[in-house]
Chains A and B, each alone.
Chain A
Amino acid sequence: MLRNYIKIAWRNLLKNKAFTIINLSGLTIGMTAVLLIAAWVQYQMGFERFHTHEDSLFKVYNRSTGPGEIYTWDVTSGPLGAALEKDFPEVAQSSRIYWSKDRLFSTGNTHIKAKGNDVDNAFLSMFSFPLLQGDSAHALDAVNTVVITEELAIKLFGTADVINKMVKIDNEDTYQITGVLENLPANTDFDFDYLVSLKANENLYSNNNSWSTNTFYTYVQLKPNTAVDEFNHKIKEEIKKYNAESETEIFLHPIKKWHLYSRFENGKVAGGRIETVRLVGLIGILILVIACINFMNLSTAQSRKRAGEVGVRKVIGAGRSSLMLQFIAESVLLASIAGVLAVLITIVVLPAFNQLIGSSVFINWLSPWLWLGLGVFILITGLLAGSYPAFLLSGFSPIKAFKGNFKKRGCVFNSRKVLVVTQFSVGIVLTISTVVIYNQINFVQNRDTGYDINHLIEIPLEGDIDKNFELIKNELLKNGAIEAMSKTAFGVTSEASTGSGFSWNGKSEEDEDLSFSLYRTSGDFVQTMGLNLIAGRDINLAQFPRDSTSILINEQALKKTGITDPIGKTIKRKDLTLTIAGVFEDFIIGSPYEEVKPMIVMGYKNYNYNTLLRLNPNNTTQKNLGLIEQVFKKYNPAYPFVYEFVDKSYAKKFADEKQMASLSFLFAGLAIFISCLGLFGLAANMAENRAKEMGVRKVLGASAQHVARLLASDLLKLVVISLLIASPMAYYIMQDWLQDYTYRVAIEWWIFIGTAAVLLIITMLTVSFQAIKAAWVNPVKSLRTE
């Protein structure tokens, strides 16, 4: 019997080729979208889940109560891990990680910059980053030992077989390679090419043993079966034990949640990427629903054709259930074909998808779960899509079916129309959201940065650059490659560190905890950045050695502190007295979505890690870069010449939003496309069903134009209703989304008008083909069928 069903289903699909193609492509696209989304969601959910000890690994977080708010952060003091290990038997082991560092690896003539971390030796036995060569337990025991990834090994030596070989790091010390790591999987937030032992290099960190300075990330592994909540309660006061002054509490955040739950509000997990994952998951479900609705719609539209068959089958002995089974078998067959096509398409488009959203989603095609899931998914899609037509068609009584007399008359909520409206509403919400998201990105991108972002490059301050800074600068000024150059604390597009505890004359009670963005420079900062100086002068340590206690502040700081006539006034922090040398107009450091904070730029000779260069705009960039490279090679020969354009780094701040925009653009497009496929099919069917009416109208003297308009307007009406339903929904959803941004765009009315106009044009194009076709038919033909 089932074979019989499938045979009939197959022949039916072949017979109604146009219907099959429309339906199949709709379903295939829908399923492809769902597969991609599922793969992406699974990828996001799979972060850090490959660690053998995934259930017992935690990151230590700090929690401290500030004014009206509880702050949560994950950088801890140096001795914390060891203390936890000593004080609590529940802790199996712990490891600190110093933040990521770019170091220069050299062997012979090969010099490569690699990113990596300094870790305690327990790191490799806690986390599952297996060694291809070497002993995980002891690889990082000794001083000057390094573990590198296979990839880095091949880059350096051309082979992965590098155990015990020597490599020079940062052009100073020679390290022994004691292990070769498997390349890191895509689904981890760890990002390193090498690991060196932190303990062995203890002397590098001046605040290694300080309880009051937070410098390290601390990870702990608990013994199995430790009740985490209880344990968190026990360790709360750990810092206070060693540092009575501190108010900071600590708690553990499980590894499984690092990736998806990384936002804390008031000391509690408040969300993070999980919100995007949920949103995208919801979109996936919506797309599938749209595709299923399409299927239902087209199948029920076919009911006139199939009604006769249903009648015959009933008369010759088919029960309702066997008919339903037949129709469901048919839709499951179609879903299976769509499923196979979707898998093939997914394989082909996955790289492009990854590129579009900037991720590295991968699918493990060998996993039996994948195929099981796919099977269930196809079955559910088939059932979902086939159940409504199955119910409807199998319900015809044979007599009615033969007469073709199964139209419900006078029913306002024609279910098929409701389905079309639903479909389009989803598409419209997605479209409007896409436009708003793009708008917001544009808006923020066009925000005045406050400095001249063009012709500005950054070079890491490393090797001999610091030593030869003045020589380099003079030579570059002389050869005309640059206009200005400055040593700064870190990149001007990175997140600035913040600090409070400053005091000044006239400081009021409410300014008690005013927090400032902090930045450092050795001089010429205002000039190099192209900032607008409102008062005073630039800092210049070379010219004015006393500038080591001079500061620049921004307009915002001036406003917030209430200092008048600022030049020469002082701001104090503990025993440090800082003199204001200049005031500049606000510029954006950190997030362009936030308001600019009060900022203090201090004159500092040391602790600068960045070189900022203002290129000469009269030369070509290429010429400038060539000249700069020559000079840097001369004064810092051991390091490869690397640079970054500030405008490019700035653009990276929009990556998350752009990913979101790309996703919603992609899926809005798909939703509308699938909906239009459905509309096309529906128009065809409507034209067919109303052929007789149109024939009569033409005989009575209606023009082709009139007939075409009559057919088209019916379907256009549905799209207009969808617009009316979806626009307020989209407005509401986007209003909510925008709340996350301090600096945000207003939702303009033209977005709705524009979307409506474009959609109506698309609909017209979709529908008019069928309408015009129907209108041109010779009425004799359409009337003869009866």
Chain B
Amino acid sequence: MRSLAGSRKPRRRRRVRRIWWGAAALALVAGYLGSLYVTVTSRFEGPHWKVPSTVYAEPVTIYPGMDVSAHHIHDRLLRLGYGPVTAAPRRPGEFRWNDDRLELYLQDFVYPDHAVEGFPVAADLRDRRVVRLIRLPDNAPLTSVDLEPEVIAGLFDESWEGRRLVRLGDVPPVLTDAILAVEDARFYEHWGIDPRSIARAIWTDLKEGEFTQGGSTLTQQLVKNFYLTQERTLYRKITEAIMAVILEARYDKRAILEAYLNEIYLGQRGEMGVYGVGEASRLYFGKDVERLTLPEAALLAGMIRSPRAYNPQINPDRARTARDRVIHRMLALKKIDADEAREALAEPVPTRPKARAAVRAPYFVDVVREQLERLYSRDVLTSEGLRVFTSLDVEAQRNTEEALRAGIAAIERRIPKGDDPLEGGVIVIQPQTGYIRALIGGRDYAETQFNRMTQAHRQPGSLFKPLAYLAALRRDGETGSPRYTPVSVVQDAPLTVVTNGRSWTPQNYDKLYHGPVTLRTALEYSFNAAAVGVAQDIGVERVIATARALGITTPLQAVPSLVLGTSEVIPLELAGAYAAVANFGTKTEPLVIKAVMDQDGRVLSRKEIAVEQVVSPEEAYLITSLLQGVVERGTGRGVRALGFDRPVAGKTGTTSDFRDAWFVGYTPDTLALVWVGFDHNRPLQLTGAQAALPIWTDVMRRVTEGEPPTDFTPPPGIVLRQVDPASGLLSNRQCPDAITEAFLAGTEPTGWCGDHGGPRFLWWLRRVLG
């Protein structure tokens, strides 16, 4: 009995142990399944994807009269992914360019105000200009069309996954049929895994002796992409299968299919990965997914296996083979009939080349990002798929980059090599709108992301003088009259001022004093002593007030040297101040973001041009007129020597010890500011006229190409008189260098020049008649 009982005990113990083990194993399995369940549901029920925000440049408007060559329309089309074709364009994203005609099929695009469904247009050309713009095929005349804006950046966390989310209801059945036909024909019948497919895959693998067929259902593919790594292990495969079953048990087929359509990787556009059928439809066919045709849908479905191998832009023949395989499969599954298949098979594969590399404007994008981060959290910016429309003119940016690069290289050939690299920056701004058209904050963003146009504080040197002269030319609040006119005689003579117990005597660049000169001459030749004298006369506080009115916010020291630009400013603010002068005294806030949309097409914010009259139009015009003289006769005459012949106003700037070289100048419609120097203030040993002016001229020549030349129109309240520049008096016929001078009405001179010859009786008559 003992022995029997003794043998029973271990058996019972073994049984208990087995139960324990079983329970533990069950608990383990349950825990494992539970954790998989939580993983599956938590991701599937939250936001599925982090969709980066997309930053767009300004769209380009094509209109009758436009110079298509000057606006680089061909390059723009290639960057936008348009492909040249030899026959008439039949699909969005195609164009045909003959000498006298451009035909293009616009691509679909959703703008902040309206959505455009791509349509064919033609522009008849003569001498590179559009003479007629029509809609095809009905030849209806058009007044203008927009080319879609170029993407200049994505705002993302880890990788740039371009994704345009679609709802299943918006996806044409032909696309889902095509995808299901080749990826998972029994999708609506299985419960996540398909034993029949697995068996078939195993059989094929055994036959071919390698592991090629996965037999994965569409749900398994989704699980693999969504939750798991791409490694090929049995454990991963089992996990995938279990998760697929959980997914199917928990969610309906439509939700799974919709997620799959948005998840699949379908290629690459530059740095951006193309995910989902929405984005892919735009990339390969230039249209929304809703409008895909059977052959297009089949092509996309065929690419899923290997987006690179079957990419029609790289391997059109292989893409066609893959597409045809899908069409045949759809026919076999009776998703289409024989006629439809025949027609689809006859369609050529779109063969437009890969889009040319996009223009990047990293410093500009940083400014955009900074401004966006004031409105939206970083998380929203990198995951909510916002679409940000900016003021950047891609061609202006590209041209400005080229001009700066060439200009810096030319300077480097003239100066001794040092440890730190020569730096430079450019801002191009449209004064009337405040739109920043181009922005470069340094010579190499990869080297340093510090933006020298928006973050640096630099001494402006003589660029500050026009602000001081503007203060002198403005009407006094009390008397209603200005203290100076452009022909007021000022003294360019030794002048010693005492500040904080220290005396200081400003000197000129040429180490000479030029005696009594008109205010115009003093500015045109940038005489330091004269400028300090004028500022001392009107009071430095008045200069500061004018600078503040024009938008300078940095601390300005109320010292006599302020007028020579010794207080540091932010270059962007300086450009804004000059833009206000160029814009007849109206300050417009420099603007980079025009509108922000969410991924459903709702406009979240829209930036309107903000205008404020900070100086009267006529006072501002006086400065423009003086700055025109700088370019015609003064320190900026190199602009003319370099062949830029548009009406232009400008000013050179050089700081003490040649640390900063500046040039700012503007036509009526475009302003550019250029800075060249070293980050650590090493002397450049070149003036603004030598270093910055040539770059400015190159920039302006490029960005104004094709624009009609316009002149500065004097506003009401300005009177123009012919004066002798030396005396500032009305000129007589003998005055050799008479110029047209602008005055605030009522301040024009009444006396006649007596320094030059002339009929004496006329001179006498004028004196008698007053």
Q: A and B, one complex?
A: no
| Contacts from A to B (Cβ < 8 Å) | none
